[in-house]
């Protein structure tokens, strides 16, 4: 494809709920629009077993189903969706942006919607990186079934940790939830479900010091913060959910970001760089949900349309 054919009004990076909704609205506004995604459609939600709090699905909907549904709907109005394999680079030009994809594919756009979401923060303890894929995981939906009838540990006390621990009880004989405080951060309804599940055991006020094992996880060395005592919790797998950080590296030199990389942008999705809009989990916001991501996507597309009209 020639560079000329790669000129767009709007280029969206990220195929999660925010990006795909931006694509739907941009396509319906008859803007020439392309969406670039490096993995699977749906973003973070694609690795969530069941989404129970997205309105319109009274019985819940599998996380993996949401992305393809959004994509089909946006494509019906003409959204161009492309996969990319190599790292993207974004450059500011006069009157727009150049987005380079690998060695020789360049896209040019008048406006850019960044909907790249966020990724898991590693704990940064010994054994974590070495045993990644050999019992250390950040995705219960992907790896839970490998641990049928075995004991597992989940680290963290937020929604992700507790929801994923609950999911893991489908396979595991027991799931320890190791949390550094004696109260969970997760929403109350999630806590209620967790406390009612006999396969979950909470290891309160403990921090993990090391993931132990030679070729695979054999345990998590934990420290009791109240007694300072250490002991080995024997488990076959450790699932780590200690928070997220923004995937904003591609634009971090162009827009203002906070210390975790979240893009500074309000509900209008406007960033510090005119022409770049931030939608979904990648922007600073009080609540990261499918519902808030799709709101951002719609807003970003309409703001991009206004920006193009006025520039």
Q: Which residues are catalytic?
A: 139, 142-143
Are 34 and 82 in contact by the 8 Å Cβ rule? The answer is: yes
Shortest separation between residue 288's beta carbon and ligand NAP, angstroms? 4
Least separation in angstroms between CB 285 and ligand NAP:
9
Q: Does 285 bind ligand NAP (CB under 6 A)?
A: no
Q: How many CA atoms lie within 13 Å of 260's alpha carbon, on the beta-carbon side?
A: 16
Asked whether position 205 contacts ligand NAP by CB under 6 A, the answer is: no
CB 150 within 8 A of CB 144: no
Show the DSSP H helices in the chain as ranges.
Answer: 17-28, 63-76, 140-143, 159-168, 188-195, 290-310
185 makes contact with ligand NAP (CB under 6 A): yes
- Binding ligand NAP by CB under 6 A: which of 6, 116, 141, 160? 160
SS3 305: helix
Task: Assess contact for 13 and 88: CB atoms under 8 A.
Answer: yes
Number of C-alpha atoms within 13 angstroms, CB side, residue 116? 21
* Contacting range for ligand NAP; rule: CB under 6 A; set: 32-40, 160-168, 223-231, 255-263: 160-168
The piece of 1-9, 135-143, 225-233, 236-244 that touches ligand NAP (CB under 6 A) is 236-244
Q: Is 47 a residue that touches ligand NAP (CB under 6 A)?
A: no
Q: Does 207 bind ligand NAP (CB under 6 A)?
A: yes
- The residue among 36 and 155 lying less far from ligand NAP, judged by its C-beta, is 155
Pairing of strands 136-137, 118-120: unpaired
Choosing from 7, 75, 180, 193, the residue that interacts with ligand NAP (CB under 6 A) is 180
158 binds ligand NAP (CB under 6 A): yes
Quickly tell me which residue has 């719609």 as its tokens: 298
Say whether 169 sits in a helix, a strand or coil. coil
Q: Out of 68, 78, 126, 243, which residue is the one contacting ligand NAP (CB under 6 A)?
A: 243
Interface residues with ligand NAP (CB under 6 A)? 53, 123, 155-161, 163, 180-181, 185, 207, 241-244, 288-289
């Amino acid at each position: 494809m020639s560079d000329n054919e790669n000129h767009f009004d709007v280029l969206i990076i990220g195929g999660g709920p925010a990006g795909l909704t931006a694509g739907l609205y941009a396509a319906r506004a008859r803007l020439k629009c392309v969406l670039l995604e490096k993995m699977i459609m749906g973003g973070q939600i694609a690795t969530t077993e069941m989404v129970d709090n997205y309105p319109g699905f009274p019985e819940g909907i599998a996380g993996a189903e949401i992305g393809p549904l959004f994509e089909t709907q946006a494509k019906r109005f003409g959204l161009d969706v492309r996969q990319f394999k190599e790292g993207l680079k974004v450059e500011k030009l006069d009157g727009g942006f150049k987005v380079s994809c690998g060695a020789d594919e360049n896209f040019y756009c008048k406006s850019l919607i960044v909907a790249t979401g966020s990724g898991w923060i590693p704990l940064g303890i010994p054994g974590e990186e070495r045993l990644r894929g050999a019992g250390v995981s950040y995705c219960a939906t992907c790896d839970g079934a490998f641990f049928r009838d075995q004991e597992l540990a989940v680290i963290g006390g937020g929604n992700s940790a507790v929801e994923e621990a609950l999911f893991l009880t489908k396979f595991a004989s027991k799931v320890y939830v190791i949390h550094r405080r004696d109260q969970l951060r997760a929403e109350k309804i999630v806590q209620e479900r967790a406390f009612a599940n006999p396969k979950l055991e909470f290891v309160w006020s403990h921090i993990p010091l090391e993931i132990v094992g030679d070729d695979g996880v054999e345990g998590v060395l934990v420290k009791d913060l109240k007694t300072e005592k250490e002991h080995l919790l024997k488990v076959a797998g450790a699932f780590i959910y200690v928070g997220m950080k923004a995937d904003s590296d591609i634009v971090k030199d162009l827009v203002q970001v906070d210390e975790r990389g979240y893009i500074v942008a309000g509900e209008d999705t406007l960033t510090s760089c005119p022409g770049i809009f931030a939608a979904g989990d990648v922007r600073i916001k009080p609540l990261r949900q499918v519902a808030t991501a799709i709101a951002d996507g719609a807003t970003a597309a309409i703001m991009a349309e206004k920006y193009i009209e006025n520039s």
